[in-house]
């Protein structure tokens, strides 16, 4: 009886994802003191969606100073989009 050979196939899949966030308000351009530039600011919820992490994780990144925060008018906490774009979302 002939012995069967096992065959192993390795597949690698790469993908890109485009996320569109529709805002109810106009984009906010604010001064980020950490970047030293005017940046587009996003809310914590938007940062959470962009990074594909929980709000709790976003607030943890703010406390760890991984994300830059901007205290805007109306006591609204905004996040510098430049600091968001420097973080690679989990796969």
Quote the tokens at residue 25.
């308000």
Give me the mean pLDDT over the 40-50 stretch: 91
Please report the pLDDT score of residue 72 as a whole number: 75
Give every CB contact of residue 48 below 8 A, 6+ residues apart in sequence.
Answer: 54, 55, 57, 58
CA distance 3 to 24: 66
CA distance 31 to 10: 48
Lowest-confidence range among 21-25, 30-34, 48-52, 72-76? 21-25
Integer CA distances (angstroms), 13 to 10, 16, 28, in order: 10, 10, 37
Give me the mean pLDDT over the 52-59 stretch: 94
Average pLDDT taken over every residue of the chain: 84
Burial of 49 (0-12, 13-18, 19+ CB in 10 A): middle
pLDDT tens track for 73-84: 777 889 999 999
Residue 91 has pLDDT above 80, yes or no: no
């Amino acid at each position: 009886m002939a012995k069967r050979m096992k065959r192993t196939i390795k597949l690698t899949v790469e993908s890109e994802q485009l996320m569109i966030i529709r805002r109810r308000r106009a984009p906010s351009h604010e001064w980020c003191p950490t970047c030293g530039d005017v940046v587009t600011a996003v809310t914590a919820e938007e940062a959470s969606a962009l990074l594909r992490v929980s709000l709790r994780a976003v607030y943890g990144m703010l406390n760890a100073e991984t994300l830059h925060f901007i205290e805007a008018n109306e006591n609204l906490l905004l996040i510098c989009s430049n600091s968001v774009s420097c973080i690679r979302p989990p796969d």
